[in-house]
Amino acid sequence: MFTEKQIKGYAKALRKALSIRNLELSHAQSLELLAETLGEKSWNHLSAKLDKTPNEQRDNDIPQGWSFIGREHLDCYSVQLDNTQPTNELIIQCVENRPNVFASLMQFVDAKTYLDFHVKLTAEVATIESGPASLWIRVDGKPRSTLAFDNMVDVPPYRALEGTNDWTLLELVLDVPSGADLVNFGLMLSGKGTAKFRNITFEKVEKDIPISGGRPYGGDDPQNLGFN
């Protein structure tokens, strides 16, 4: 069986050969064509079967600065970066749907820049026959305490995209309270289908920008002891 590195090298050579003949293919299209030539339904199906080095298995097309979480489900997902579009697109696709599977790319930043402000995460998201595709933010304190969290799914109101959707702007705003140590944020696909992400922004905003949902963890006093 070919390795993923070899297939991507063949895709690059194919694009070059066709370009000389005035036939233009994107990198993603050339991978799809090679997959069909090798008898696979799609590039993502082929990629899941290719021999990979440990680094390829762990960091397949993960953009610099981002980390993959949900590694127990790594064999269920393909993560690809399409840099042939006018704006780079990150594509997460489920290639083997199992109960409770998910894939997420995330990063974290020191909270000190954002203390006593709100943080705002936005991205354009498109989906194809997908389970919940969402953004998430988690604010951590020390030691290993969660101060605030929102993933658009577990916390009402439900704001994730499901099914098939054209490019849609998703937005999260969450508080960064005193005592915060880290701000974690990411992009996530739960379950089946394909989710594409582009034009991501992360910024500090004033507290007059309301939080989008989310829930605080803990506080100075007990809350809602009467279950209201």
* Segment 180-215, tens digit of pLDDT: 999 999 999 999 999 999 999 999 999 889 888 766
List pLDDT tens digits, range 91-114: 999 988 887 889 999 999 999 999
Tell me, yes or no, whether 227 lies in a domain: no
Tell me, yes or no, whether 194 lies in a domain: yes
Residues 6+ apart with CB under 8 A from 37: none
Amino acid 71: pLDDT = 56
Amino acid 160: pLDDT = 96
- What average pLDDT does range 165-177 have in this prediction? 95
Asked whether residue 34 carries a pLDDT value surpassing 90, the answer given is no
List pLDDT tens digits, range 58-83: 345 788 888 888 756 667 888 888 88
Tell me, yes or no, whether 99 lies in a domain: yes
Please give the single-letter amino acid code of residue 228: N
Residues 6+ apart with CB under 8 A from 149: 136, 137, 138, 139, 155, 174, 214, 215, 217
Tell me, yes or no, whether 135 lies in a domain: yes
Please give the single-letter amino acid code of residue 121: L
Asked whether residue 220 carries a pLDDT value surpassing 60, the answer given is no
Residue ending a domain, among 16, 35, 60, is 60
| Lookup: tokens for 55 | 């680094």
Domain hosting residue 175, numbered range: 64-214
Query: Looking up tokens 């969450």, which residue turns up?
Result: 174
**Do 77 and 50 fall within a single domain?**
no
Q: Tally the domains of the chain.
A: 2
Q: What is the pTM of this model?
A: 0.70
| Lookup: tokens for 142 | 């020390």
Tell me, yes or no, whether 219 lies in a domain: no
Q: Which residues of 163-184 are buried (b: 16+ CB within 10 A; e: fewer)?
A: eeeeeeebebbbbbbeebbbbb
**Do 27 and 108 fall within a single domain?**
no
Tell me, yes or no, whether 173 lies in a domain: yes
Tell me, yes or no, whether 113 lies in a domain: yes
**Do 29 and 105 fall within a single domain?**
no
**Do 72 and 51 fall within a single domain?**
no
Give CA–CA dist 190/100, Å, rounded: 7
List pLDDT tens digits, range 109-144: 999 999 989 999 999 999 999 999 999 999 999 877
Residues 6+ apart with CB under 8 A from 112: none
Mutual orientation of helices 27-37 and 4-20 as an angle, nearest 10°?
Answer: 110
**Do 23 and 123 fall within a single domain?**
no
List pLDDT tens digits, range 207-218: 889 888 766 555
